[in-house]
Amino acid sequence: MALHKTQTLYIYNSISKEKEKFSPINKGAVGMYVCGPTVYSNVHMGNCRTFLSFDLVFRYLKHLGYKVRYVRNITDAGHLENDGESDEDPIAKKAKLENIEPMEVVQKYTVDFHQTMARFNALPPSIEPTATGHIIEQIEIIEQIIKQGYAYQVNGSVYFDVTTFNKDHHYGKLSGRNLEDMISNTRALAGQSEKKNPQDFALWKKADSGHIMRWASPWSDGFPGWHLECTAMSTKYLGQQFDIHGGGMDLKFPHHECEIAQSEAIHKKSPVNYWMHANMLTLNGKKMAKSTGNNILPAELFSGENTLLSKAFSPGVAKFFMYQAQYRSILDFSDDALVASEKGYNKLMDAYKSIDDISCSEHSSIDITIWRQSCYDAMNDDFNSPILIAQLFEGVKHINTLKEAKASITKEDLQVLQNTMHGFIFEVLGLTDATSMETGNDDKLSGAIELLIELRNQARNNKDFATSDKIRDDLQQVGIQLKDGKEGTSFSLS
C-alpha cells in the first residue's frame, strides 16, 4: 500500500497563507510545476537553494508513493516587460558581450546548471521544457486572451489589460495587493508608455532592429512576454488546473500573479491548488543576486576558492546545511554555519555506517515505530526538514546506545531502523556519502595506510611511542586521520 494512504501531508499554501491538507486532483498522482532558471550565467547558491527545496518536495512525494510529473522550465528567451531604454534581454545582451550566438549562451549555462544539480544529487525533473521551444503555444494563449477581451495591441506589441481583468477578477490575490493601491503608488512614475496602464504587462513585444532573438507572430516579429512561458508550458504538460506550483519567493509578484491572471483570463478558473514559495538564501544579510555580485557559486564552494570560505565543502554538506533550515525561512550563508553543518553531517553518516555493528536481541527496549512515525510527522508538516534532521539525530542516539549494548533491539526492529535511516537520508534528503573511500576508489592508498597502521600498532606494543606518534602525526599532516577504537584502528580522509 502506498504510504500516502497512511501519511497525511500538509502544505503551506502561499495563497491562503495556511497549511492545508494535501489532496491531489487525481488520486495517487501529482502535477508539479517549478519556475526554472534563466540561463544567461552560472547558477549561484541562492538559485540552487530553491531547486533543492523543490527536489526535497519531489523526492518526498515520490517516497510517499505518488506518481509525480515534475515540470521545471528552462528560460532561454530573455523576458522583457518594460519599455524603458535601459531594459534589454539579458540573454541577447550576454551574447553581445561574449560575441557568440544567443543559443550558445543558453547551451553553455544550461549544461552548467545540469552539472551543478547533478553534483547536488538533485533528481532531474520529468519534463524540462524550454521557452523557445514553446513559442507557438505562447502565441495561441495570447490569441485566446485577446479573444476574451483582456489584452490589447499597440504598435505590434500586445499587453495584458490588468484594469479590465480586475473588474471581474482579483489581480493581486496571491501577493496581497490590490490594483487601486498599485495605481496610486506608481502614478508619478508613469512616463511616455504605449501601455494603457503602468500595471499592464507585455504578452508580446515587437523586436527592434537590434534584437537578436525574434519570432514571427500575427502582431509583429518579436518575442513573448516573460510571464507567458510558464502558463504555456504548465498548461500543456499539466493541464488547466494542477496541484503544485513552486518557485522562489521573489517570483511571487509579479511573475506568479501574472500567471494566475493569464490562466484565469482564458480558463476561467484558478490554475494552481497549492502555491509554494521557497525563501531566499542571503549572503551578508542580503539576497544573493547575479547582478549585484552578492553571490557565491557552487564551484567556489566545492573548491573553497572564495575569500568567504575557510575550506572546501562537499555538495552533500551544502545541501545538509540548507535542509537544516525550513524552506520558507530566510537562510544566511556563512562559513561558520557550513563548518557546523559539516560536523553534524559526518556524525550522521558515521552513525549510519555503524548500524551493521549492532547485534540483535529477543526484545526491543526502544520503540522504533514511534520514532519512525516522528520522522514522517516532520516531513508531513510542510516538509519540515530541520525537524526531520533532529529526528535522524535521535536515530543516531539510538544507534550509539545499541552499539554500547545499553539498549536492545530485535532483528525486525533493527531492519526498520536501518530502512528508515536509509530512506530519509538517501531517498528523501538525497544526501550522498562523499567522505567514504568509494569516491576515491583508491585501493592502493588504503592498502598503504593499513600497512602504516600495522607498523604503528607494532611500535605501540613495543612501547616505542616515538615511532607510533610519528606515524600518527605525519599522516595527520597530509590529511589522514587515524581513529583508535575498541575494534582497532580506522582512518578517514579530510
Partner RNA sequence: GGCAUCAUGGCCGAGCGGCUAGGCAGAGGUCUGCAAAACCUUCUACAGCGGUUCGAAUCCGCUUGAUGCCUCCA
Q: Nearest-CA neighbor of 40 among 82, 72, 86, 76?
A: 76
State which residue, 285 or 440, has the beta carbon closest to RNA.
285
* End-to-end Cα, the chain, rounded Å: 43
Does 253 interact with RNA (rule: CB under 7 A)?
A: yes
Compute CA distances 144 → 114, 139, 287, 343, 486, whole Å: 34, 9, 37, 56, 73
The reply on whether position 90 binds RNA by CB under 7 A is: yes
Write out the binding residues for RNA, residues 322-351 only, by CB under 7 A: 324-326, 329-332, 334, 336-337, 339-341, 343-344, 346-347, 350-351
Bridge-partner residues for 12, per DSSP?
19
Residue 299 engages RNA in binding (rule: CB under 7 A): no
Segment near RNA (CB under 7 A); pick from 154-162, 234-242, 246-254, 299-307: 246-254
User: Given the C-alpha cell 592508498, which residue does it identify?
Assistant: 445
The correct pick among 140, 393, 426, 433 for binding RNA (CB under 7 A) is 393
Q: Of 120, 52, 46, 48, whose CA–CA distance to 332 is shortest?
A: 46
The residue range among 95-103, 306-314, 381-389, 441-449 that interacts with RNA, by the rule CB under 7 A, is 381-389
Question: Could you tell me if 389 and 324 are in contact, meaning their C-beta atoms sit under 8 angstroms apart?
Answer: yes
Question: Burial code of 244-275, b = ≥16 C-beta within 10 A, e = fewer?
Answer: bbbbbbebbebbbbbbbbbbbbbbeebbbbbb
Site membership for RNA, residue 305 (CB under 7 A): no
- Check binding of 186 to RNA (CB under 7 A): yes
67 phi and psi, to 5 degrees? -90, 115
Rg, Å, the chain Cα set: 27
| Residue 35 or 64 with smaller CB distance to RNA | 35
249 binds RNA (CB under 7 A): yes
Give the list of residues 6+ apart from residue 132 with CB closer than 8 angstroms, or none. Answer: 76, 77, 106, 213
The only residue of 3, 103, 183, 289 in contact with RNA, by rule CB under 7 A: 289
Within 13 A of 45's CA, how many CA atoms are on the CB side? 27
CB of 439 to RNA, least distance (A): 19
Among 29-37, 63-71, 151-159, 160-168, which window interacts with RNA (CB under 7 A)? 29-37
Which residues in 431-470 contact RNA (CB under 7 A)? 460, 465, 468-469
**How many residues at the interface with RNA, by CB under 7 A?**
91
Residue 187 makes contact with RNA by CB under 7 A: no
Cβ 379 to RNA, closest distance in Å?
12
Name the minimum Å distance from CB 65 to RNA.
Answer: 24
> Within positions 396 to 425, which residues make up the interface with RNA, using CB under 7 A?
396-397, 400-401, 404
Residue 125 binding RNA, by CB under 7 A: no
Extended strands (E) in 201-287: 201-206, 222-224, 242-248, 272-278, 281-283, 286-287
